[in-house]
């Protein structure tokens, strides 16, 4: 794949985004999506030629720009948007998937200069360093190396000039609005874009990410089923992030595993990204497939903590109350809660039943008390309805005003769903959700193993403190 430099100027980046947005809007792509539990599927409206041309354009423009623009492309690439004929859908998705782990590479000589500017001569830090990146992400490239003490590490290095590039993107939010609106029209809300800008800018802070990853790694240290590689603090700088290296299989390889293995991995993905948010008041807002690995020791490993946020108790409590009301089909309770928090304007014409149906459309996979296989179609329907509730089933719910604080927590929920859809994992997700919705004990073997480990860990801490 050809090597490219990262354009950093506001004008050049903005003009690229503007042209891309205009091209997408001109295609007039529209869709009608089904609620979870309904039988109708989204209708195909995009022809093969324009579909593949659009995919190529997104990969070329966003992939070459890196930064926040590529992050936007990554969000799109995990969706199985039912906008194209089924015969060509796989080709479209594969093309977009290039944004996840096969982005255009920056020459190693330029990346080496970034490393040595922060850490000094490379042979003073690393005994071995493979110049071929193992991954190319939105902010930087990841390399495999070995420290002088023998530890195998992953070295994430920022693209030269990416800080300036991302800040240029943030000043060009109107172009993001146009691009994103061509896919998911209501995602161009100003408050939503401000929240996106704040979070993506924070992702540039490698020192913060190193501290976060160290904290989360400590939380999962010696966990029997989940692995979080620790950061190596002494070698983490403004532009370089060094962490333990995970030996294992990629998410693409996970997709080829037998169904029972994928179901097991799916439950652990759910527990890390969803249950963990309600247990710890923290969540990873970037649960795309490139951040999930199957380690050689059988544990599921999670990497990349640049978009790791906290969420207040009040917001989690509201989320729980709304979901519990939806599980009980209590439309009036949802309407009252949302009215009290300014999410629904009583003058808008949104009814209590509209609210109930919307919650079920977006979060019904947590609420349906039966085994459900998450398919790409189910995941995409939920994502699009959450960000663009103007499908025919929810025409009036466009007046919902979700607080900006929920933007990335909702993204964590929905993009966990898309990851599960990629591996078509099956579970009774409601039984997993009841642990954080109602504080009930786990009902699965994996859940009981985790609960026993947590209890033993608490006992060990208590004994040590006595």
Options 101, 286, 304, 388, the catalytic residue: 286
The residues, ordered by sequence, that sit 6+ positions from 110 with a Cβ below 8 Å of its Cβ are: 160
**Residues 175, 52: Cα–Cα separation, whole Å:** 22
- Specify whether the CB–CB gap between 312 and 332 falls below 8 A: no
Q: Which H helix or E strand runs over 234?
A: none
- Specify whether the CB–CB gap between 435 and 441 falls below 8 A: yes
Give the pLDDT of residue 368. Answer: 87
- Output b/e per residue, 330-354; b: 16+ Cβ within 10 A: bbebbbbbbeeeebbeeeeebebeb
**Residues 351, 396: Cα–Cα separation, whole Å:** 8
Distances (CA, A) of 242 to 110, 111, 139, 232, 331: 18, 14, 15, 6, 49
**Residues 73, 431: Cα–Cα separation, whole Å:** 33
DSSP letters along 131-167, please?
SS-SEE-SSEEEEEEEETTS-EEEEEEEPTTHHHHHH
Please give the model's pTM, rounded to 2 decimal places: 0.76
Active site residue 286: yes
**Residues 134, 144: Cα–Cα separation, whole Å:** 7
**Residues forming a β-bridge with 142:** 135, 156
Helix 445-465 vs helix 259-270: crossing angle, to nearest 10: 40
∠ CA 184-310-183 to the nearest 5 degrees? Answer: 5
∠ CA 413-204-418 to the nearest 5 degrees? Answer: 20
What are phi and psi for residue 231, nearest 5 degrees?
-85, 155
Give the pLDDT of residue 341. Answer: 84
Q: How many CB atoms lie within 10 A of CB 38?
A: 11
Give the pLDDT of residue 267. Answer: 98
**Residues 403, 352: Cα–Cα separation, whole Å:** 19
Give the pLDDT of residue 191. Answer: 57
The residues, ordered by sequence, that sit 6+ positions from 103 with a Cβ below 8 Å of its Cβ are: 63, 66, 70, 136, 137, 138
> How confident is the prediction along the chain (466 residues), in pLDDT tens digits per residue?
444 444 444 444 344 444 433 333 333 322 222 333 332 333 333 334 444 454 455 445 454 544 555 555 555 554 544 444 566 556 555 555 555 444 556 889 999 999 999 999 999 999 999 999 998 776 889 999 999 999 999 999 998 888 777 766 666 555 555 555 544 444 445 555 566 666 667 778 999 999 999 999 999 999 999 999 999 999 999 999 999 999 999 999 999 999 999 999 999 999 999 999 898 888 887 788 889 999 999 999 999 898 888 888 888 899 999 999 999 989 999 999 988 888 887 777 788 888 888 888 778 889 888 898 998 877 876 766 665 444 444 444 444 555 555 555 677 888 899 899 999 999 999 999 999 999 999 999 999 999 999 999 998 888 887 7
Give the pLDDT of residue 408. Answer: 53
């Amino acid at each position: 794949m050809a090597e490219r430099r990262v354009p950093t100027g506001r004008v050049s980046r903005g003009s690229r985004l503007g042209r891309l947005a205009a091209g997408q809007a001109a295609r007039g792509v529209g869709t009608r999506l089904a609620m979870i539990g309904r039988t109708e599927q989204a209708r195909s409206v995009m022809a093969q030629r324009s579909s593949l041309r659009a995919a190529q354009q997104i990969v070329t423009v966003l992939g070459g720009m890196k930064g926040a623009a590529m992050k936007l492309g990554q969000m799109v690439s995990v969706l199985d948007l039912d906008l194209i004929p089924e015969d060509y859908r796989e080709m479209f998705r594969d093309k977009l998937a290039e944004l996840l782990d096969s982005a255009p590479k920056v020459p190693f000589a330029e990346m080496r200069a970034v490393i040595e500017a922060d850490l000094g001569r490379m042979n003073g830090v690393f005994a071995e360093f493979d110049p071929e990146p193992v991954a190319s992400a939105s902010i930087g490239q990841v390399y495999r190396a070995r420290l002088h003490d023998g530890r195998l590490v992953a070295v994430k290095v920022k693209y030269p000039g990416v800080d300036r590039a991302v800040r240029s993107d943030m000043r060009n939010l109107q172009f993001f609005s146009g691009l994103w609106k061509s896919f998911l029209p209501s995602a161009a809300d100003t408050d939503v874009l401000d929240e996106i800008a704040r979070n993506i800018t924070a992702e540039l802070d490698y020192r913060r990410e190193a501290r976060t990853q160290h904290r989360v790694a400590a939380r999962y240290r010696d966990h029997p089923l989940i692995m979080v590689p620790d950061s190596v603090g002494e070698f983490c700088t403004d532009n370089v992030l060094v962490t333990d290296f995970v030996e294992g299989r990629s998410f693409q390889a996970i997709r080829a595993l037998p169904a029972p293995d994928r179901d097991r991995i799916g439950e652990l993905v759910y527990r890390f990204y969803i249950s963990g948010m309600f247990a710890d008041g923290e969540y990873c807002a970037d649960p795309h497939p490139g951040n999930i690995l199957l380690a050689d020791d059988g544990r599921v490993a999670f990497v990349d903590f640049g978009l790791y946020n906290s969420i207040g108790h009040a917001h989690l409590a509201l989320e729980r109350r709304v979901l519990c009301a939806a599980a009980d089909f209590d439309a009036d309770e949802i309407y009252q809660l949302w009215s009290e928090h300014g999410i629904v304007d009583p003058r808008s014409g949104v009814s209590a039943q509209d609210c109930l149906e919307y919650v079920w459309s977006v979060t019904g996979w947590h609420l349906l008390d039966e085994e459900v296989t998450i398919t790409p179609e189910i995941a995409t329907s939920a994502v699009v309805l959450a960000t663009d509730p103007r499908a025919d089933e929810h025409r009036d719910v466009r007046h919902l005003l979700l607080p900006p604080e929920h933007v990335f927590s909702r993204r964590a929920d929905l993009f966990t769903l898309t990851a599960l859809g990629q591996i078509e994992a099956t579970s009774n997700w409601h039984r997993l959700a009841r642990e954080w919705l109602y504080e009930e004990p786990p009902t699965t073997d994996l859940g009981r193993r985790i609960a026993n480990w947590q209890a033993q860990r608490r006992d060990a801490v208590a004994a040590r403190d006595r």
